Structure 1
Amino acid sequence: MRVLRSSAVAAIAVAAALTTVSGCAEKSDKKDSDAILVKATDDKCEVSKTSFPAGHIKINVENKGSKVTEVYVYGSGDRIVAERENIGPGTKAEIVATIKKAGAYEIACKPGMKGDGIRQKVTVTGDGKQEKSDPALDKAVAEYRKYVQQQADETIPAAQKFADAVKAGDVDEAKKQYAVSRIGWERTEPVAESFGDIDPKVDVREDGLEKDQKWTGWHKLEKSLWEDKQITEDDKKLAEQLMTDLKGWQKVVGTAEITPTSMANGAKELLDEVATGKVTGEEERYSHTDLIDFQGNVEGAEKAYELLKPVASKNDSGLTKDLDKQFGELKKLLDDYRDGDTFKAYDSVGKDDRKKLSDAVNALAEPLSKLAGAVAK
């Protein structure tokens, strides 16, 4: 979910033409002198190069403004092909990436992390370096593609039960079905977010709305159910719209450009989702079903990791041993908060326990940020 966040995130979306490799900047063969420099201020987005060849690139970002900013790379159709969020005033960030396809792109800075951003058109030339295909990685991508499609397919009937309950005016049944309807989305959120128009329709929170944007989707209905404790005629229409939007997502999710490194970065992004939304309690602020989302994010991250593990372990066995350990410890800790076949309401989880969960997420996020580098060796 794309909202104004309170902690740093390096979220890299699965995208059509570009794969960002995080956690491996030290391995880049690009010299700093070859880097694309982006100077972001509150009213400017200065880019040092507006044309560069396809292949490995490095983007060095410096925020010289007074607001937290984001930097995006957009491809055709305004698809998000790379991003870096929460770049604080006076700080720097780096994106190491591979652009394989020539064409027109845009680099955008978003002061305050809202709106369309201040955009600069850039041109990528040439065909990029053609890398030898790795059968093991090809298999991982194929299996992951099946996984994300399966999650979308399974979300539709689960979401339909939720929508039907809303349309019937049954508050109790809608509450029962709410969190269940979101699990598939939470497991594959980075892929969903790569289609930039879907996430704002179905998963935006009230504080993430753009100017003049109508609030639709799960969280608007969540507020009605738990805070307002009633279902309006408008809510019934929103439930129908939610299903239309989710079915649209189901149809396109299989068309996402998925690569080994985008899988790795997507896994890291899922952990970022946990750190910035679930652990803080911001995501499900009315229903307090954050731990169910938490589990979905972790399961999705682990699935991507397990598919990439055969190759990553050959390139960096120490990293995969650490990841195995940290995934195991986080899942074990999460189990402590189970309540039958679900989880405790998050507002019943105390400050000390939230700190434990946060520490476990951070302990996993650090090595997970190196997975893309291990895969790309």
Structure 2
Amino acid sequence: MNLSTRSRLSSAVLAAGLMCTATACTTNNPGGVTGGGTQAAGGSGALTVSSTDTECKVSAATAPSGNIVFSVTNDGSKVTEFYLLADDGLRIVGEVENIGPGLKRDLVVKAAPGKYFTACKPGMIGDGIRAPFTVTDSGADLAATGADKELVDTANQQYASYVKDQTEQLSAKTAQFVAAYRAGDDAKARSLYAVARTHWERIEPVAESFGDLDPKMDLREADLEPGQKWTGWHVMEKDLWPPKTGYQALTTAQRAAMADQLTADTKTLYDRTRSMTFTVDQIGNGAKSLLDEVATGKVTGEEEAWSHTDLWDFQANVDGARVAWEGLRPILKKKDAALDASIALKFSALQKLLDQHKQGDGFVTYDKLTKAQVKDLSDAVNALSEPLSKLAGAVTL
């Protein structure tokens, strides 16, 4: 969704001009940055952000190109998020989400010279509190060299191939789902719903990077704003698993319209991902974003409110995060073997818990889980989230 809806946006989006694939680049000095200036102190790429319920105070309005670290502290009373947006205000260069009151999170990005926006979103709703931000030309060479360049290029190429494969499968499975839904074959459509969505959820950071597409395709009813048109997966989900009372089923014509819209939007997503490229910081941030998706939507059971197929989505998000991490492992093992080992251990523990809820080719519905089982999953997600949050910084700085 875009910044006018609940944040499910991701840091793996590909902002124009951020095509550097460096891990061995010159790192901007992270030394002392203080608030109130227009330039990061001493030309530093380290900035502080204070997010309150009404303000988004960034310590500087500019930083030199290269690695930039935003240390975001939630000084307000609401859960907040922080974004670095491209000059169009839609594309996300990087983001950190689900920052509770009193907590601090770092966003690490590799930024080329250009115009951007910073944005805090207290309460995780609305357009966010935005301000212009400029990245000046530091003169630093942002390209990796030698063996590091080979590792970086391989990681970027592998992830690009993965995204293309998942969008191809998403297109094929969505076509099958839409055909059954349009034909009124509800039993078949229900059986295909979670399967098709798996391919969306695995690359959710990329899919959601398009601010115009995500609200059309994946908006939840609970996140609708006044006057906003509701389309996409969850409209059809509710129609296939309707409430017992007070629900008016969609007409044949309305079903056809929803099917046409989802088909067209899926085709647009497919087309846009054909030429996408990635940087290691985007891949690393995207892995963490997928775990945030689990924590804020899947563990709570809010994502699939009608079908209760949250565990399919849960597994897909974990799959996508694992693929991103595994692609970066050759770099991570070289830079921080202990962090790599910790991430591996936490992934294994989380997967063991998920495996306990498998049923046939899928999972039990989420409403069948006990409170204790949900808590166990939540704890495992949080345990993995902590080391995974360091991945982008480890492979970028």
Task: Specify the alignment match of 1:12 in structure 2.
Answer: 11
After TM superposition, give the deviation of residue 174 of structure 1 in Å: 1.4
Structure 2 residue 177 is matched with structure 1 residue 162: yes
After TM superposition, give the deviation of residue 79 of structure 1 in Å: 0.8
Deviations 1:274-327 (A, max 9, x none): 122111111111101111111111111111111111221122222222222222
Task: Specify the alignment match of 1:289 in structure 2.
Answer: 309
Which shifted more, 237-246 or 51-60? 51-60
What is the count of residue pairs matched by the alignment?
Answer: 367
Deviations 1:223-255 (A, max 9, x none): 111025844232321121011111100111234
Cα distance between partner residues in 1 of 2:273 and 2:97: 23
Structure 2 residue 143 is matched with structure 1 residue 123: no
Cα distance between partner residues in 2 of 1:222 and 1:97: 36
Distance 1:146 1:307, change over 3 A: same
Task: Specify the alignment match of 2:95 in structure 1.
Answer: 83
Retained in 1: the 8 A contact 2:13–2:210?
no
Distance 1:179 1:106, change over 3 A: same
Cα distance between partner residues in 1 of 2:305 and 2:64: 45
Q: 1:320 aligns with which of 340, 343, 364?
A: 340
Task: Specify the alignment match of 1:73 in structure 2.
Answer: 84
* Larger helix percent: 1
Q: Which structure 2 residues correspond to residues 62-211 of structure 1 after superposition, within 5 A?
A: 62-77=73-88, 78-89=90-101, 92-99=104-111, 101-126=112-137, 129-130=140-141, 131-133=143-145, 134-211=149-226
Retained in 1: the 8 A contact 2:97–2:292?
no
Distance 1:109 1:216, change over 3 A: same
Deviations 1:32-90 (A, max 9, x none): 32344444444444444333321232334455555443322211332111223234456
Task: Specify the alignment match of 1:29 in structure 2.
Answer: 29
One-letter amino acid matched to 2:92? I
One-letter amino acid matched to 1:350? T
Cα distance between partner residues in 1 of 2:228 and 2:394: 41
Q: 2:324 aligns with which of 299, 304, 312?
A: 304
Distance 1:63 1:335, change over 3 A: closer
Could you state the TM-score of these two structures normalised by the residue count of structure 2? 0.84
Cα distance between partner residues in 2 of 1:157 and 1:44: 44
Deviations 1:151-203 (A, max 9, x none): 00111110011111111122212111111111111111111122222211111
Distance 1:351 1:67, change over 3 A: closer
Q: Which runs of 5+ in 2 are unaligned?
A: 20-26, 34-40
Q: Which runs of 5+ in 1 are unaligned?
A: 20-26
One-letter amino acid matched to 1:80? I
Which shifted more, 46-55 or 260-269? 46-55
One-letter amino acid matched to 2:107? I
Distance 1:119 1:369, change over 3 A: closer
Retained in 2: the 8 A contact 1:81–1:194?
no
Q: SS of the counterpart of 1:227?
A: coil
Cα distance between partner residues in 2 of 1:313 and 1:62: 29
Task: Specify the alignment match of 2:396 in structure 1.
Answer: 376
Cα distance between partner residues in 2 of 1:55 and 1:37: 17
Distance 1:155 1:117, change over 3 A: same
Distance 1:267 1:58, change over 3 A: closer
Structure 2 residue 83 is matched with structure 1 residue 58: no
Distance 1:370 1:44, change over 3 A: closer
Retained in 1: the 8 A contact 2:156–2:277?
no
Q: 2:259 aligns with which of 221, 225, 239?
A: 239
Distance 1:128 1:250, change over 3 A: farther
Alpha carbon RMSD of aligned pairs, Å?
2.7
Could you state the TM-score of these two structures normalised by the residue count of structure 1? 0.88
Q: 2:270 aligns with which of 231, 237, 250?
A: 250
Cα distance between partner residues in 2 of 1:28 and 1:116: 30
Distance 1:170 1:114, change over 3 A: same
Q: SS of the counterpart of 1:70?
A: strand
